[in-house]
Amino acid sequence: MSTTWQLPDPEATRELGRRLAGVLRAGDLVVLTGDLGAGKTTLTQGIGTGLGVRGQVASPTFIIARSHPSLGQGPDLVHVDAYRLRSLAEVDALDLDSSLEDSVTVVEWGEGMVEDLAEDRLEISVARPRGGLAGQDEVADAGTRTVTVRALGRRWEGVDLASAVGPADAWARP
**What is the pLDDT, as a whole number, of residue 41?**
94
pLDDT in tens, 18-34: 999 999 999 999 999 99
Q: Please state, rounded to an integer, the average pLDDT across all residues of the chain.
A: 84
Chain centroid to CA 11: how far? 14
The confidence band for 39, taking pLDDT boundaries of 50, 70 and 90, is very high
For residue 78, is it left (φ>0), alpha (ψ between -120 and 50) or beta? beta
Tell me the CATH number of domain 2-158, given options 3.40.1280.10, 2.40.30.10, 3.40.50.300, 1.10.357.10. Answer: 3.40.50.300
Q: For residue 101, what pLDDT is reported?
A: 81
Q: What percent of the chain has a predicted confidence (pLDDT) above 90?
A: 50
Contacts of 153 (CB under 8 A, 6+ apart): 118, 119, 120, 121
Q: Which of 39-48, 114-123, 141-150 has the highest mean pLDDT?
A: 39-48
What is the model's pTM?
Answer: 0.85
Q: Are 18 and 46 in contact (CB under 8 A)?
A: yes
pLDDT 10s digits, 150-164: 999 999 999 999 988
Q: pLDDT at position 82, please?
A: 79
Q: Is 125 helix (H, G, I), strand (E, B) or coil?
A: strand
Bridge partners, 160 (sequence order): none
Q: What is the pLDDT of residue 116?
A: 83
Nearest CA to 128 out of 56, 21, 59, 34 is that of 34
Model confidence pLDDT, tens digit, residues 88-144: 666 666 656 666 688 999 999 888 878 888 899 999 999 988 754 443 334 444 678
pLDDT of residue 63: 67
Q: What are 60-102's pLDDT values in tens digits?
A: 766 677 888 999 989 999 998 877 666 666 666 665 666 668 8
The per-residue pLDDT for 143 is: 76
